[in-house]
Structure 1
Amino acid sequence: MRQLNRLNQYQRLWHPSAGAPQRVTVTELAERCFCSERHVRTLLRQAQEAGWLSWRAQSGRGKRGELTFHVSPETLRNRMMEEALRSGHKHTALELAQLAPQDIRALLEPFLGGQWQNDTPTLRIPYYRPLDPLQPGFLPGRAEQHLAGQVFSGLTRFNGNCSAPAGDLAHHWEISADGLRWHFYIRSTLHWHNGDKIETAQLQTSLTALLALPVLQRLFASVQRTEVTHPQCLTFVLHQPDYWLAHRLASYASRLAHPERPDIGSGPFRIAAWEPELVRLECHEQYHLSHPLLKAIEYWITPQLFDRGLGTSCRHPVQIAIGEPEELASLRLVSNSISLGFCYLTLKQSSGLSEMQARRLINIIHQTLLLTLPLEENLITPSRELLPGWAIAQWPALNHVTLPATLTLVYHLPVELHIMAEQLKRYLAQQGCDLTVIFHDAKTWDGCASLAQADMMMGDRLIGEAPESTLEQWLRCDILWPHLLSAPEFAHLQATLDAVQKQACEQDRHAKLKEIFARLMEKAVLTPLFNYQYQVSAPPGVNGIRLNTRGWFDFTEAWLPAPKA
């Protein structure tokens, strides 16, 4: 801000003569700069010492001195912005850019992607929206979910795309024969990001607060209490077996923050700055697992600059590009995959919508609308199965089934569902069905007052590293299901999930869960619509990027080659 003020004052001095020499009094200069004569003398002295101008005063009050300019405000601005960027002071650069948006493009681009800055390997990602604070529990955004796993640690974690949980804060765990006591043995060399040693009692305190959140109470409904049974052992006491417990603790929603400092974790990166225009993560030097190769990650959040044509790291939220926006089309594709997560349609079968009518609606969508959606090429793939091997239901043509005269659809983000809703409304109108469309402007159903009146709901289901446990969590925790199913149906579903979680054999749990979703799909309660095609592109100097299940990449694996001498 100080540099911006100095530049503004210099601009006021320069403006009357457009840089030509001036003969002017100190009083006139003070009025021009809206300051005292004493302060304007200080400004002149500082500017002269910096080589911006020369001031030759004349003795005597009211005498005119000679003011000569050596550099234009535009040149000064460019110099300041470049120095701010080289020093990593993005905020200063953006403040200066507000004066010259036409200059920011050329100056910003060389600093995106991977850079060694002051001997620090730094990855800078231009991002299209502000990032929400990392709160305990569930988070709606994929980017925030991914960052929670980079900043915080859990008792367990998923390594890469492996669906089996591994040790994190706990190096291993043991389960009693009856499945009611789980002993997690805590590592002895753990440190918070502020350097303090992690105590097992602190983890218990953080867990107690986490499990008190209403949505996590449903997820951890089987947990009766936690106990510190040894300085390095945290024990979970259950009132019924839950063999998903290690999976639940590995979820991003179960990561643990310092009990008194929610912004401090113990993951591979610590939060150095979290502001609307800049999020900076720095390597945690005392991290207990494999140390990152990068020292810093920065999200440069400048949507106002993207609006001016700079470009963005996200051509679409599932397609991330790291590097110079002008070269997005030429960046090399370093990783791509089909998302396990999916956009879905659910149908509430009540007096207004029968099972056969619901089946016809699903046929219309899968056999007609999904094939003609006007979306960007290589963005989505129509779903043929819920998870690999979990095929969606198939029915013969049901054109003889008459649709209801009116239906109500409620949907939330992503934006592709806008197009889906519009197409469906037009098509159903041709079939004599008037579709009322209600948009819930959010990424989840939280706070949606329209679910009770909906016949149809469309949303997005993100899938984490363990697909089966994520889907089980969805049925337990999402407020969609009590609105979608009748009270007896929902109670039966929860009882069935309780029976499934008691299966010690993972294959048996997966098979039983598959049966639950097969029934929901066969009854036309649920159908997946499409999956996304995740992509990450980067310039040649960025290495170690491999897409995870959320369409991001593990920051601990990325690396930059050292600069050539």
Structure 2
Amino acid sequence: MSGQRLRAQFSRLYHHFNGENTDTTLQAVADILVCTRRNARMVLSKLEEQGWLTWQPSVGRGKLSRLAFLRSETALREEQAASWLVQGKMDHALACLDHDSTKLAALIQKQMGPSTQNGRQIVRLPYYRQLETLDPREPLRRSEQHLVGQIFNGLVRYRGSERIVTPDLAHHWEALSPTHWRFYLRPGVRFHDGQPMREQDVIASLSALSTRRFFAHLSRVDSPGPRMIDVHLSSPDSRFDHALTLPEAVIRPAERHPSQSLGYQPIGTGPYRVAEKQPHRLVLEAFDDYFGYRALTDEIQIMVFDEAAMCYLTPSTSLTPERLASHQTTLSQKLEMDQGAGYLLLNCRDGLAKQPAWREYLHAKLSSLQLLPRLAHCGMGEYRLFNAYGLMPGWMHHGLSSMSPVAPSPTSLTVAYLSDHPLYPLIAKAIHAHLLEDGIQVKTLALSSADYFSGQYGRKIDIWLGAMSFGERGQAGLFNWLGTHDLVLSACTDTMLESIERHTQRWRETQDDSCAEHLARRLVEHQMVPLFHIWMGVMATPDLQDVASNAVGWFDFKAVWHKPH
């Protein structure tokens, strides 16, 4: 018998007896359930197994049996609604609660935050969109980058926001020459599947980086001895250890079964392993064999709710970095400005912007000063955005035009943005309204991360709408962003691509971070329109200890813990 039918049978009995314990007969129960005495006995047995009621059959003819209810119908409805919530079926949950949005809000809020179950500390966090691939080899959005950092380790890592490279899987390293680096591996490191990390795993992971433009100077990786890794470069790079802090440089098992997908069944060495990954639910469990300090929180559950459901939530430790600043509440941690900017990337290779007249018009017409006032009329008044004049807070690269821009001719153009993002459709709507004044129609295209960052459909797109976040790398993160995403190849002219390569090489040789600002200025003058900066942070409940926002608007899962009452 299905759970839904069993609940219906319980509901009949509960309503008939008004939820009160009573003395009755098996035949009376059979009449209520409209079934035979045999089936009624079977139903009562199953209801007892569920712990919903007790049935004490009478002994002797003419005596009454005892029926006692252990659960209320309301409690069972809430349990079923909670089950629907876990599966991401918001409409089913609301129907289960008789479409009472107040009850749904209370149920969602009740499920979130820290709790202790059977001695295990669990933190449940709400999120506003489905989490995409956790494969570090693929283009990653900001939240996925954070999760990859909880599941995997690299040879080295950054310490907080100080941009100091510290040991991770390598306990020591040195530059033997400007093009030769050596790393010494920790002993006893294991992957989540129990297999030991070997030199071959490191060689395979690092060698795969050479296919990326940012790591094109990586010529060879080998092992001169046990627990030693040598990396040979084709050109000097005094910052190569900094490059290995990037998410794509984490270490993965060299051999995997063909049926295993790294995006959905990632296996790393990090403090958390993936216990479950469903479209509306991600469960991370603390890895007991982690080589560092074992995580204080045993389990992290990230529950995916749609925008309607997110509106029911009272701010808690809820991780929605892009809309975090919209909540009017006192934060236990101060907000920090995201190191990057929202942008419009003009297609100067195959789009309208390849014509100088169109490029100048779009640059002037779609500036942040022109667009942000419109965003409030498109439902974005909640978001605390502020005008961007460069690709980093404090950079002033986008000049103000003293003349009113004039469109070369009425036409239509296409704006592409990442799907499942609450801001981008609203920005696209504002762009459409703004350009319509000049007779320009705007078509939109929502793309997955893979399609967006690969530059696919480049010949059909005139403007890419997005955001670049350099996180803990600061302005030097610009070089990695440009050297990682093939979107740049689809949008930039050959002249701009040569300029990017030239500035990147100079930065590697001189260690001068000002190279990033010089390149950013050139990009803004010819290719990109900075739109806005945004505040990020974490709103922590009093029950969760040691919560500190990191550079991507999340917090280190392994460091937080729940203080029992």
- TM-score normalised by the shorter chain: which range applies? 0.7 to 0.9
Shift of 1:317: 4.3
Partner Cα distance (2:549, 2:386) in 1: 17
What's the offset of the Cα at 1:152?
0.7
Pairing of 1:306-325 with structure 2 (within 5 A): 306=309, 309=312, 317-320=321-324
Which position in structure 2 is the counterpart of 1:254? 249
Partner in structure 2 of residue 219 of structure 1: 214
Distance 1:454 1:97 in 2: 40
Instruction: Select the residue among 437, 442, 445 that pairs with 2:443.
Output: 437
Q: How many residues align?
A: 538
- AA aligned opposite 2:444: I
Could you tell me which residue of structure 1 aligns to residue 477 of structure 2?
470
Does the residue aligned with 2:375 lie in a helix, a strand or coil?
coil
**Counterparts of 1:528 and 1:17 in 2: how far apart (Å)?**
67
Give yes or no for contact 2:179–2:236 (8 Å, CA) kept in 1.
yes
- Any idea what the Cα deviations from partners look like across 1:209-264, whole Å, max 9, x if unmatched? x437xxx5333212222112221111112223344432332112222233337422
- Gaps of at least 5 residues in structure 1 are 322-327
Deviation string, structure 1 residues 253-282 (Cα, Å, up to 9, x no partner): 222233337422111222233233432223
Seen in structure 2, the aligned counterparts of structure 1 residues 30 and 446 have a Cα distance that, compared at 3 Å, is farther
Aligned to 2:225: 230
Deviation at 1:336, TM superposition (A): 0.8
Q: How big is the alpha-carbon RMSD for the aligned residues of Structure 1 and Structure 2?
A: 4.1
User: Whole-Å Cα distance in 1 between the matches of residues 472 and 416 of structure 2?
Assistant: 25
In structure 2, distance between residues paired with 1:304 and 1:30: 42
Q: Which amino acid aligns with 1:461?
A: M
In the alignment, the residues of structure 1 paired with residue 359 and residue 410 of structure 2 have an alpha-carbon distance, to the nearest angstrom, of 14
Q: Which residue pairs with 2:489 in the alignment?
A: 482
Match of 2:389 in 1: 384
* Aligned 1:35-54 pairs, distance under 5 A: 41-45=41-45, 47=47, 52-54=53-55
Q: CA 1:55–1:194 in 2, change beyond 3 Å: closer, same or farther?
A: same
Shift of 1:170: 0.9
For 2:127 and 2:166, how far apart are their aligned partners in 1? 31
- In structure 1, what is the equivalent of residue 511 of structure 2? 506
Hey, what's the Cα distance between the residues in 2 that align with 1:226 and 1:273?
A: 34
1:190–1:287 CA contact under 8 A, matched in 2: yes
* SS, match of residue 391 in structure 1: coil
- Whether 1:420 and 2:409 are equivalent positions in the alignment is no
Check if 1:270 corresponds to 2:277. no
**Residue number in structure 2 paired with 1:186:** 185
**Residue 370 (structure 1) aligned to one of 369, 372, 375:** 372
Larger CA deviation: 299-308 vs 544-553? 299-308
CA contact (8 A) 2:205 2:249 kept: no
Secondary structure at the aligned position of 1:538 is classed as coil
Summarize the Cα distance change of 1:8–1:303 in structure 2 as closer, same or farther, 3 Å threshold: farther
What's the offset of the Cα at 1:181? 1.8
Post-superposition shift, 1:300? Answer: 2.8
Alignment TM-score, normalising by the size of structure 1: 0.80
Q: Does 1:522 align with 2:525?
A: yes
Task: Map Cα deviations across residues 274-304 of structure 1 (whole Å, 9 max, x no partner).
Answer: 2334322232333333443333322233449
Change (3 A) 1:5 1:255: farther
Cα 1:315–1:279, aligned 2, differ >3 Å: closer, same or farther?
closer
| Equivalence map 1:112-131=2 (5 Å) | 112-131=112-131
Determine the C-alpha separation between the residues in 2 that align with 1:45 and 1:498.
72
In structure 2, what is the equivalent of residue 143 of structure 1? 143
CA deviations on 1:449-508 (whole Å, 9 max, x unpaired) are 54214443322223232134431122223232222223x3255246425633650x422x
Give 3-state SS (helix, strand or coil) of 1:334's partner: coil
Distance 1:308 1:72, change over 3 A: farther
Query: How far is 1:190 from its partner?
Result: 1.9
Aligned residue in 2 for 1:325: none
The alignment partner of 1:253 has SS state of helix
Q: Cα 1:397–1:407, aligned 2, differ >3 Å: closer, same or farther?
A: farther
Taking the aligned partners of 1:133 and 1:521, their CA distance within structure 2 comes to 31
Q: Distance in 1 between matches of 2:48 and 2:423?
A: 57
Does structure 2 retain, via aligned residues, the 8 Å contact 1:335–1:546? Answer: no
Deviations 1:288-343 (A, max 9, x none): 3344333332223344992794567669542449xxxxxx7556442311111211
Distance 2:46 2:401 in 1: 82
Residue identity over aligned pairs, in percent, reads 23
Shift of 1:128: 2.8
**Aligned residue type for 1:158:** Y
The reply to whether residue 293 of structure 1 matches residue 288 of structure 2 is no
Structure 2: gaps (5+ residues) = none
For residue 358 of structure 1, what is the amino acid of its counterpart?
R
State the SS of the aligned residue for 1:163. coil
TM-score scaled by length of structure 2: 0.80
CA distance in 2 between counterparts of 1:526 and 1:189 reads 47
SS at the partner of 2:483? helix
1:399 counterpart (377, 401, 404): 404
